[in-house]
Amino acid sequence: MAKEPERIDLEQSEAIAALPHAPVLLVCSGDKEENWNVTTIGMFNVFSLFPIVLGIGVKTSRNIYRLIADSEDFTINVPTAELLQAVEVCGREAGARKNKFKEAKLTPEKGKRVSSPIIKECPLNIEVRKLSSAKKKSIYSVHEGEMDIGDHTWFLGQIVHTDAWKEYDRTKALLYWDGEYRLADKCLKGKEE
């Protein structure tokens, strides 16, 4: 008989760190060009598939929190390994008094359907309108599309536009797992034909 795997107790924080890795994202917001800024965000989740509702978890102390709270939208920009340094700059520096695009050598561009900018150097740009700004409110019951849970506020929203580079390869997207930056380039089983 096969030997049963040994099981060990994990602390709550160890349990979270044991979960599979997640994307690291460059999130932009700002209702007008002079307010645009960018921050690194790891707390991301898909909250609904029909319709698709995405969410990001942001601490109220972040400059990007104020920008998103004061605007109708934000953008999710997926970096590649080449942008690791920019990801670190945007995840370390506070944007309250500086233009982090410049510091991280990133180029903000006008979004197609939102006031927030997208990042030219990122191969995937997702434009998200906050649920609180959606015309049809029947699809959710969270007040204003924002949830305060512990030390993070979750901003929920729907995709209004997405641009992807033709050669975009999601296995080259940068992931962040318990302090480590990784790539998800190993597929163990493909989709059934």
Ligand X SMILES: Cc1cc2nc3c(=O)[nH]c(=O)nc-3n(C[C@H](O)[C@H](O)[C@H](O)COP(=O)(O)O)c2cc1C
Q: Is 162 left (phi over 0), alpha (psi -120 to 50) or beta?
A: beta
| Interaction of residue 163 with ligand X, rule CB under 6 A | no
Contacts of ligand X in 56-95 (CB under 6 A): 57-59, 62-64, 91-95
| Shortest spacing between CB 3 and ligand X, in angstroms | 38
Of 98 and 110, which has the nearer Cβ to ligand X? 98
From 13-21, 36-44, 72-80, 104-112, give the range in contact with ligand X by CB under 6 A.
36-44
Within 10 A of 21 (CB to CB), how many other CB atoms are there?
A: 16
Of 58 and 106, which has the nearer Cβ to ligand X? 58
Residues 107/101, Cβ–Cβ less than 8 Å: yes
Rounded to a whole number of angstroms, the CA Rg of the chain reads 18
| Shortest spacing between CB 181 and ligand X, in angstroms | 8
CA distance 77 to 120: 9
| Interaction of residue 41 with ligand X, rule CB under 6 A | yes
CA distance 149 to 32: 28
Give the interface with ligand X as residue ranges (CB under 6 A).
Answer: 24, 37, 39-43, 57-59, 62-64, 91-95, 176
